[in-house]
Structures are given as structure tokens and as C-alpha cells.
Amino acid sequence: MIYQANPEERGRLIAGLRELADFLAQNPDVPVPRHTDVLVFPSPGSDAEMFAEIDLIARQIGATASNADSPAGHYSAVRDFGRVHYRAVAIPNRDDENGGG
């Protein structure tokens, strides 16, 4: 299972985000949240594999990956764009004590 968009899907997502921004700018009476997250998840694998993917994304977005702010141990990297947060998150496997998935 692939969780990230292929190039065609990526282009459609970016176009949709721009459409949404334009629509909201042109329709000031439409309510919007105070902030929002764009979430990206790694492909399924062992905790070590998923955390390595988050580390790679962290380098690409100029962030530091950590599980410090997560009581559940979610490993994430975040880059803020004003009130929009790009967040890459790996949810550890509950039964993954030795790297098995």
C-alpha cells in the first residue's frame, strides 16, 4: 500500500489546495478553522522503517523529527506555514518491540 501521492495525484492535490484558498478568499462569509494540518504518513513497516521515513521527510522540510510532544509515542516532523501545518507522522506498532511489523 502506498500512502504518498504519485506525481499526477500530487499535482491534483496542489491544484485543489489553490482552488480552496482562492474560494475562501473570494467567499469571506464561509467559515474556516483557526488552523489546519496536512498529514502525511509513511508506508507501513517496522517502527524503525517508518521512523527513518519521517527522518527523511524532516530533512526535506527543514524540521526535526521527535516523539517528545506525543503521549502515545507518535513520531513526527512539522513545518508551519502560518496557520497551516505540514505534519509527517509515524504511529508506532503496538506489537513492534524488536522491529517486526
Determine the length of the chain: 101
Q: Which of 1 and 87 is assigned the larger pLDDT? A: 87
User: What is the reported pLDDT for 71?
Assistant: 84
The answer to whether 5 and 15 are in contact (CB under 8 A) is: no
Task: Please choose, from the candidates 32, 36, 17, the residue with its C-alpha nearest in 3D space to the C-alpha of residue 78.
Answer: 36
Indicate if the pLDDT at residue 101 is higher than 60. no
pLDDT in tens, 55-91: 999 999 999 999 998 888 899 999 999 999 999 999 9
Q: If DSSP codes are grouped into helix, strand and coil, which group holds residue 74?
A: coil
Q: What does pLDDT average to over the chain?
A: 91
